[in-house]
Each structure stands twice: as C-alpha cells, then as structure tokens.
Amino acid sequence: MAVWRENDAAWFEERMLHCALCGRMIAKRYLAASSDHHDAIFCSEDCLSLYDDYWLAERGADYRPTTDIGERYAAEMVK
C-alpha cells in the first residue's frame, strides 16, 4: 500500500529524504509505500512500480552496489 505524504520538516531543519530507487532528494511530497518486502519512500509512482517490478525481483531488498562499482563500470563500458 502506498500513500502520498508531505515532509513536515521546518525550513531550517536538515531532514533530507531521498527516493529509495533513484536517489533523488525529495523536498516536499513523497510516496510512502509499505509491503511484506519493504517500507520505503519514493519520489513518484513510476519509481515505486520500477522498484517493485524490477529492483526487488532482480536484486532483492537488501542489494547494495559493491564498493568497486565505479571501476567495474569504467572497465566494462564500451569505449
């Protein structure tokens, strides 16, 4: 289930929210989603559906890129 909510932080607070899929900083409105697999916030319904349909299916909720992801990306990119 997902509901739209607003970040109620005052303007002087440094409470930053980030989308669980794309990482975009969320200034005001965010989509709070909870299920059996995750509790997370998203910047849009597109990010939520991509998270459920691709990220969880392919990577799992606990996936984090390896620490050498930058070097691996550079090595595997077609030049």
Our finding on whether 43 is near Zn ion (CB under 5 A) is yes
In the complex, minimum distance from the CB of residue 50 to Zn ion, in angstroms, rounded to a whole number: 8
Identity of the residue, 19 or 33, whose beta carbon is nearer to Zn ion in the bound complex: 19
- Residue pointed to by tokens 């030049």: 79
In the complex, minimum distance from the CB of residue 12 to Zn ion, in angstroms, rounded to a whole number: 25
Identity of the residue, 24 or 72, whose beta carbon is nearer to Zn ion in the bound complex: 24
| Site for Zn ion, residues 5 to 24, rule: CB under 5 A | 19, 21-22, 24
Our finding on whether 31 is near Zn ion (CB under 5 A) is no
Do residues 22 and 47 touch, judged by C-beta distance below 8 A? yes
**Beta bridge pairs of residue 34:** 39
- Which positions lie near Zn ion, rule CB under 5 A? 19, 21-22, 24, 43, 47
